[in-house]
Every structure is written in structure tokens, then in C-alpha cells.
Structure 1
């Protein structure tokens, strides 16, 4: 069973990292949620379908990488994996705060995959039906993103593919408020979340999560 604290952490990472998500996916969400020929209720349904597809892709990726992580999440290897997860959270915080952008190199990993998916995703625009919105979200969930990739690496330390998938679902849910309101209140939300103090505070909280994740006590006892 996944620790509720881990789920809360995943949700908070998504919520606090939303300043980055707006830049990566906000344009798509806004284009879906600001169709003037549709009612507000209809636009909401399209946004929900898009985000459901996006979060589903996060969960699939989490399950796949979590299966690999589960194979080594025991004994000393498990401590190493947890340490790696903690450092990834710290790296995420530094990334969100714009103090260090090293995790952007992770985006190159998915570049080749996106070259295959991207053209198909583009053909789904403009979105006219709910299935189109869902499929666009599924495709967009594989967009190369340092924040998503670093969260995936962190989630892979959970110990099982089920828990990793659940953590990625939590991360996706955390991004939902910003992505959802970006589609409906695009410029207002973007202005708030991209303020410097918002980014810095979010970054510090994520770094704190990372430090808390590090198995410092176990590592010290082993060293002695």
C-alpha cells in the first residue's frame, strides 16, 4: 500500500510544478478550453477528456518504469534508489526555481519518441470531439518534459509498478488545477503562477520534500 505521504508529495510536486506545465502544455489546454462556439460546460468536458488522457499516459509510464524499479528496490540497492529519488526531487526544485536546469537534459531522452508521436498528435487539432480530446491528451502525455521525467524516476523507487503508477496519477492530479483553469482562465492563472515569488516558494517546498526523502539515517548507520 502506498504511503499517504508519498501520494501527498506526488500531488504537491504536480501542483507546485505547474508553473512549468503551463509553459509546456498550457497552449494546448487554452486552445481546447477557449472555443467560443462551445458552451462553458462543453469546454469543461473537453478539458476533462484531454487531462484524463494526459494523466493516463503518466500512469502507463509510471507502471513501466516502476516495474524496473521494483526489481532493485531491496536492501542496499533500495537505499541507493531512494537516495536517487531524493536527489531527483531536489533537482526538480532547483529546476522549478530556475536555479539549475540540468534536468532539461532528460528531455532529450524522449525526443526520438516524440518525433514519432508528435505528427499524429498535431493531426488531432483542432479538437472537435471528446474522443479527439482524450487521444490528444494521451499523446501529449509523452511530450518530452524534464519535470515529468524526473518525477517518473522518483516514482520508480516506490517498490512496485502499481505504486509507481499511483504516484504518477497523483502528480497528474496535482497539475490538473493549473492546467484546467489555464484553459478557462488562461492569462489570469498564467500571470499568478509565473510570478517570481510563486516559483521560488514552490521550488523550496519541493527541495524540502527531496531532503525528507533521502534515507540519511540508514546511510549513516551503514557507513558506521
Structure 2
């Protein structure tokens, strides 16, 4: 895996996936912002929430990257990269609102979320920085097709440190949208819900998916 290119790709995936983040995490970000005092303290709590959320993504990347021993088999690498590429293509179709099949993956992850949701509920409303960070840590495990597809793609790095870095960059890519969502929720939502914007972002994500596919391995078979 070309490390600089992969890290850049992870960041752009997070940035372009902002349309999906609006639906999955935007509401809670806006809630944290609106329930907090005005001014710097509200911004601090929103920042704490996002730090926790990105930390969860990074931990998930390190966890799945620790399974690098699976990558010793070239056949498994081809299967994982193929699956990751197809997931990204599906994510692009979802972001563009051309196909909603990815929602079934998120529903499948609902079992995990049912175990975590009560803990998240106890952290609302957010009143302190530590509470905001804790809520972000919990919310980072919310079933999300975009996160799942990026996580599977990052596993192809076959290195837990690089997988963690990829998920960190992905999380940082989502940060501009999440911060703006919390501070300017309705206005940002209108921009990202425009058909042209969603279609453009969806197409770019699909291009990343096609690029991810292991064409040499697939053609060889």
C-alpha cells in the first residue's frame, strides 16, 4: 500500500463522506453544541466530543490492523481488497442517493449499538469536557457503513500502526463537517443535501472504490 497516497485517500474519504456523517453523527454534534453554553465553552465541548469519536475510529483501526497475520495469504489480501473496494463503491452510491443497500449493513450492526446506546444516553446532556469526550468515545462505535467500509479498506495495510493512522486521517477528514454541523447545523445540512453535491461526492468515493480493487490479482484469476 502506498502510504502517503493511502493516508490522503483516508482523509478525503472522511471529508467527502460528510453527507453521511450529517445523518449518523450530525444530530448528536448539534445537540452537544446547542445544549452547551454559548461561546468558547460550547466549542470546547464540541471539540471534546469529536476527539473522543476520532479516538474510537483510531482504536478500531489498530484493532483490525492487529490481524495482519491474515495478510500472509495473497488470496485473503485479494478477497479483502475486493470487499473493501465494493464497500466503497456501495458507499458512493449511498452518498449519491442512487442505492440504499448499505443501510442493511448498518442495521446488522444495530445489535452492537443496542448494547452501547444506554451508556450514551446516560452521558446526555453534556455538561463537562470529560463527559463530551466520553460521549464521543461511545458514539464512535455507532453502526456506520462509511466507517465499516473504510475500516475494512484499512485492514489491507496489514500493519496495525498504519491501519490506525488511516482511521485517524479518516476521522480528521470528517472533522470539518462535524464541527460546522455543530455550530451551523441547519445551514450546513442544506448545502450537503443538495443533489449535485451528493452526486459529486458519491462519484469520487466510487472512484476510490474502483482504484482499491486488486485488478492484477482479479485478472490473474
Q: TM-score range by the shorter chain?
A: over 0.9
Match of 1:212 in 2: 211
Matched, 1:126 2:109: no
Give the CA deviation at 1:67: 2.1
Structure 2: 5+ residue stretches without partners:
none
1:86-140 Cα offsets, whole Å, 9 max, x none, are 2221111111112222222222332222112101111111100000000000011
Give the unaligned 5+ runs of structure 1.
Answer: none
Q: CA RMSD in A?
A: 1.7
Aligned CA distance change for structure 1 residues 157 and 195 (closer, same or farther; 3 Å)? same
CA distance in 2, matches of 1:219, 1:112: 34
Aligned to 1:9: 9
Counterpart contact for 2:96–2:201, Cα < 8 Å:
yes
Give the deviation of 1:2 after TM superposition. Answer: 6.4
Taking the aligned partners of 1:137 and 1:2, their CA distance within structure 2 comes to: 30
CA contact (8 A) 1:96 1:200 kept: yes
Q: Distance in 1 between matches of 2:98 and 2:165?
A: 29
- Secondary structure of the structure 1 residue equivalent to 2:102: helix
Aligned residues: 220
C-alpha separation between the residues in 2 aligned to 1:11 and 1:91? 18
CA contact (8 A) 1:2 1:163 kept: no
Partner of 1:97: 96
SS of the residue 2:125 aligns to:
coil
Structure 1 residues 135 and 2, CA gap change in structure 2 (3 angstroms): farther
CA distance in 1, matches of 2:187, 2:21: 15
Question: Which residue of structure 1 aligns with residue 163 of structure 2?
Answer: 164
Which whole-Å CA distance do the structure 2 matches of 1:213 and 1:60 have between them?
Answer: 23
Find the aligned partners of 1:39 and 1:104 in 2 and give their Cα distance. Answer: 35
Give the conservation status (yes or no) of the 8 Å contact 2:35–2:126. no
Distance in 2, Cα, partners of 1:2 & 1:135: 34
Q: What is the CA–CA distance in structure 2 between the aligned matches of 1:81 and 1:133, rounded to whole Å?
A: 35
Cross-structure match for 1:73? 71
Measure how far apart 1:64 and its partner are: 1.6
1:20-39 equivalence runs, <5 A: 20-35=20-35, 38-39=37-38
Is the contact between residue 89 and residue 207 of structure 1 (CA under 8 Å) also seen in structure 2? yes
